[in-house]
Copies of this chain bind each other. A is one copy, B any other.
């Protein structure tokens, strides 16, 4: 069936809730309303309001209660309405969700997924556009997953729900309805921790994820005309990173462009760049280039200028080729 990304989220939740009684969904407006983006549309009608729960407006309690539920054998999938509103729950995430297994010597291990839409592209201004993955990748104990297309999304969300570690699952709003693709029906899994070679190439490697995969693919197509053969790696799981795939591609091409929407400074590109200079130093033919969001909040009016465009990626590819 052809689905948009937000429909793929819905489908994955539906399948897992059907398959596994332990799975519950909770968050603000996720029930009757089906979520402000309709990601949980119709679930309450099917699974009842005990398993699809409209909560009060308090993100820390949503995450905290999810942790508790999971300790008692449920598998909560919490929705945070926008990743921008996850910060009230930051203490729960940093102090509890990520560290509970550790501090209890493995006795109490929260099995929780937090889903949240992120990224610019929908004219949401400074508080409905952020890309906050860095905070979570830096926090040991969390897994961080970001899908780039509807099918990917279904497979990765299903795996995230089954994974026994806490997962921050970030969904690009820009992709929610802009693409449709064939998504396998029924059970469909894409493993965590494995990157995807979205476009094999030999001259330059683009390392990217989420909606920036599309942007990078467009840039790659354009570069064909200039006879530059671009490889695009869809990172998929930022933590744990598929280091083998990333390093292998870097060694092959020796020219690296990293693309993400999050701000540059301490964005995930910094970590990839550092890892590659540790693990592929002798293979690098040019400086690793980061094409990213700027180190500013996301402005309302100039949002289009904020996010990396194919043009910016192309310029980076040309730069690295010319080096």
A244 lies within 8 A of chain B by Cβ: no
**B-contact 0/1 string along A259-298, CB 8 Å cutoff:** 0000101111111011001110100101111100001110
Q: Is A18 an interface residue (CB 8 A)?
A: no
Alpha-carbon distance A103/B300, docked complex (angstroms): 9
Contacts A140-B295, A296-B102 hold; do A88 and B91 have CB atoms under 8 A apart? yes
Q: A141 touching B297 by the CB < 8 A rule?
A: yes
A239 close to chain B: CB less than 8 A: yes
Stretch of A68-76, A130-138, A220-228 at the chain-chain interface:
A130-138
Residues of B contacting A296 in the complex (Cβ-Cβ under 8 angstroms): 102, 140
Q: Is A99 an interface residue (CB 8 A)?
A: yes
Q: How many copies does the complex hold?
A: 2
Closest B residue to A256 by CB, please name it: B277
Q: What residues of B have a CB within 8 angstroms of the CB of A55 in the complex?
A: none
Please name the residue on chain B nearest to A96 by beta carbon: B87
**CB-CB contacts below 8 Å: A125-148 with B:** 125-127, 134-135, 137-138, 140-141
What residues of B have a CB within 8 angstroms of the CB of A135 in the complex? 135, 138
Let me know if B274 and A278 touch, CB within 8 A: no
Q: Within the assembled complex, what's the spacing in Å between the Cα atoms of A160 and B231?
A: 46
In this assembly, does A94 line the interface, its C-beta being within 8 Å of a C-beta of chain B?
yes
Complexed CA–CA distance, A267 and B138 (Å): 7
Q: Which residue of B lies closest to A286 (CB)?
A: B281
Q: Using Cβ atoms and an 8 Å threshold, which residues of chain B touch A126?
A: 99, 102-103
**A123 vs chain B, min Cβ distance (A):** 15
Query: Does A303 count as interface, using CB distance less than 8 angstroms?
Result: no
- A277 vs B87: C-alpha distance in the bound complex, in angstroms? 32
